[in-house]
Amino acid sequence: MALLEVTDLHTEFAVGKKTLHAVDGVSFTLEQGESLGLVGESGCGKTTTALSIIKLLPGNAQITSGSILYQGEEVTKKTRKGIRDMRWKEISIVFQGAMNALNPVMTIGDQIADAILLHENLSKEAVKARIAELLERVEIDRKRATNYPHEFSGGMRQRAMIAMALACNPKIIIGDEPTTALDVMVQAQIFDLLERLRRELRMAMILITHDLSAMTDTCDKAAIMYAGKIVEYVRVADLFTEAAHPYTRLLMSSYPRIGSERKMIDSIPGTVPDLTDPPKGCRFCDRCPEAMPICRETPPPEILLPGEHRVSCHLPSLIQKEGAKHV
């Protein structure tokens, strides 16, 4: 049994009189200790997928169908209490923009203590010792527990958020663009820290990012999301040689590669389609340089390729590829 198994998940937002199909048939699995990168442009449904898993969706959103199994238990059917018991203790999340996620009028130590006391009945001294241990794990001096968020730098605040997320020893940690608004050096430190902690604590991780290079350094598998769907699912070790979906390939060519020929990086013209009225065929067809007439009319089939590799596309070169199976 996989640690987490998401199957055909649909999450929708009510936007005025319209329905926005933010997550539209997403499926993936996560094993213990494994890390999965959810990659794609803003507005592709990555964060909504993560918030669906821990049922932290805003009031105008709901999971309309599909299944989320955590250790074999259906998350979508859990009661409020069941979900509260699961959050932080089983699955925790590091939100983007720590300054907005942390309470500005509580000390960092008190905020970590809140997460601990929600699940564990510990003495004051034991909580204090746990806070000190957590801060040191994320390379913050234990004496800084009495500081307020505004007394920390951006990188320290993000590390404090990671300490909070680790407070109850979760089995899965979700990093939702955890380095947004940080400078490049600090971003690298945060990714290194997350990766080290994941290995030391044997946690599974879902890393949501639009940064392919960070994902390839940190993750075992990649799910490339576009307009609410996973268009390609591939082992990271195979990504650079086997990437097959036109969107994945364009995404990769829009990042500079150290050591390769010096040239202007590519961009992907156009924007993600309006998900209140998505195209009836392939959602990428307006931006795809390889689009064919069938792409406008018919949703692409999912093609299973050797090595846990899945691609949704009409390209004949994929459909006819050796070992390809259609779903």
Q: List residues near ligand SF4 by CB under 6 A.
A: 245-246, 282, 284-285, 288, 290-292, 295, 300, 313-315
In sequence order, the β-bridge partners of residue 209 are 39
Least distance (Å) between residue 221 CB and ligand SF4? 20
Least distance (Å) between residue 118 CB and ligand SF4? 44
Say if residues 61 and 8 touch (Cβ distance below 8 Å): no
Distance CA 124, CA 198 (A): 28
Nearer to ligand SF4 by C-beta: 43 or 300? 300
Nearer to ligand SF4 by C-beta: 109 or 300? 300
In sequence order, the β-bridge partners of residue 206 are 36, 174
Please compute Rg for the chain using Cα positions: 21
Nearer to ligand SF4 by C-beta: 205 or 295? 295
Distance CA 108, CA 10 (A): 36
Distance CA 240, CA 298 (A): 28
Q: Determine the 3-state secondary structure of 74 from DSSP.
A: strand
Least distance (Å) between residue 295 CB and ligand SF4? 3
Nearer to ligand SF4 by C-beta: 83 or 324? 324
Least distance (Å) between residue 314 CB and ligand SF4? 4
* Ramachandran angles phi, psi of 295, nearest 5°: -60, -30
Say if residues 234 and 305 touch (Cβ distance below 8 Å): no
Q: Provide the strand spans (E) within the chain.
A: 4-15, 18-30, 35-39, 61-70, 73-74, 91-94, 172-176, 204-209, 221-226, 229-235, 302-305, 309-312, 325-326
Least distance (Å) between residue 299 CB and ligand SF4? 9
The label of the residue with tokens 């494994």 reads 34
Nearer to ligand SF4 by C-beta: 178 or 246? 246
Nearer to ligand SF4 by C-beta: 130 or 309? 309
Least distance (Å) between residue 298 CB and ligand SF4? 9
Least distance (Å) between residue 87 CB and ligand SF4? 36
Nearer to ligand SF4 by C-beta: 99 or 318? 318
Of 16, 101, 86, whose CA–CA distance to 55 is shortest? Answer: 86
Least distance (Å) between residue 304 CB and ligand SF4? 16
Of 305, 295, 299, whose CA–CA distance to 244 is shortest? Answer: 305
Nearer to ligand SF4 by C-beta: 15 or 294? 294
